[in-house]
Chain A
Amino acid sequence: GAGVSQSPSNKVTEKGKDVELRCDPISGHTALYWYRQSLGQGLEFLIYFQGNSAPDKSGLPSDRFSAERTGGSVSTLTIQRTQQEDSAVYLCASSTRTGGRHDTQYFGPGTRLTVL
């Protein structure tokens, strides 16, 4: 079956521009996560959506970062006024259950963001 998909696969932008990154989770998965992978910081949690509950935004690094999930499916991560330190690979993951700690997260291929 189809896995987690992300678009675009690569994004190059200029400092100060806004970008939107998209994630399509596996159909039927109720939980969706965003992570960031960068050379300096490794893999970091950003935000977590579970069903209709309020998202866990505890990992967002600044108020320039926001995310939404429409209809319990597709999610968009938005970065406003991009900075060079935002350059990273942004990974999306989804899982089946209701936020159980043992759930397997299935990852997409990521979006590589480069801020010039």
Chain B
Amino acid sequence: AQSVTQLGSHVSVSEGALVLLRCNYSSSVPPYLFWYVQYPNQGLQLLLKYTTGATLVKGINGFEAEFKKSETSFHLTKPSAHMSDAAEYFCAVSGAAGNKLTFGGGTRVLVKP
């Protein structure tokens, strides 16, 4: 079985500051991990994903995430927050059978000017 835990349902950062969103997973198979972003009244958009290979994954909009197997983590970072980063972010892991996604509870990011 798969599960995802996102620490912190809300995060507030100042514009220009580091964004760090935490994700820990549990998976019965080697995990494939995803970060999605959801802007208000929109669907989910893929930021980045880890499948195999390089553990540091770069995505869109300056985001990156590092897969750490020993810590069962896949934290998302961005060096400098922009007002347009205000959104909800979801970490997900794909299932053992097929690729239905199991999502974390989401983290809503507020960016302060």
Please state if A33 and B100 are interface contacts (CB–CB under 8 Å): yes
Q: How far is the CB of B89 from chain A (nearest CB, A)?
A: 12
Q: Which residue of B lies closest to A44 (CB)?
A: B103
- How many A-B pairs have beta carbons closer than 8 Å: the answer is 62
With a cutoff of 8 Å between Cβ atoms, the chain A residues found around residue B32 in the complex are: 101-102
Q: Which residue of A lies closest to B106 (CB)?
A: A42
With a cutoff of 8 Å between Cβ atoms, the chain B residues found around residue A48 in the complex are: 98, 100
A72 at the interface (CB under 8 A from B): no
Return the CB mask of B30-73 against A: 1 if under 8 Å, else 0. 00101010000111111001010000000000000000000000
With a cutoff of 8 Å between Cβ atoms, the chain A residues found around residue B100 in the complex are: 33, 45, 48, 56, 59
With a cutoff of 8 Å between Cβ atoms, the chain B residues found around residue A107 in the complex are: 36, 43-45
A102–B95 Cα gap in the complex (Å)?
10
Return the CB mask of A35-55 against B: 1 if under 8 Å, else 0. 100000011110010100000
A99 at the interface (CB under 8 A from B): yes
Count of chain A residues near B, Cβ 8 A: 27
Q: How far is the CB of A85 from chain B (nearest CB, A)?
A: 18
With a cutoff of 8 Å between Cβ atoms, the chain A residues found around residue B34 in the complex are: 104
A105 at the interface (CB under 8 A from B): yes
Task: Classify chain B's interface size.
Answer: 20 to 34
A45–B106 Cα gap in the complex (Å)?
15
With a cutoff of 8 Å between Cβ atoms, the chain A residues found around residue B49 in the complex are: 102, 104
Please state if B106 and A43 are interface contacts (CB–CB under 8 Å): yes
Please state if B45 and A56 are interface contacts (CB–CB under 8 Å): no
**Apart from A43-B106, A103-B99, A107-B36, what are 10 other A-B pairs with CB-CB below 8 Å?**
A31-B99, A42-B106, A43-B103, A44-B103, A50-B98, A56-B97, A100-B99, A102-B99, A109-B41, A109-B42
Q: Which residues of A contact B (CB under 8 A)?
A: 4, 31, 33, 35, 42-45, 48, 50, 56, 59, 91, 93, 95, 99-110
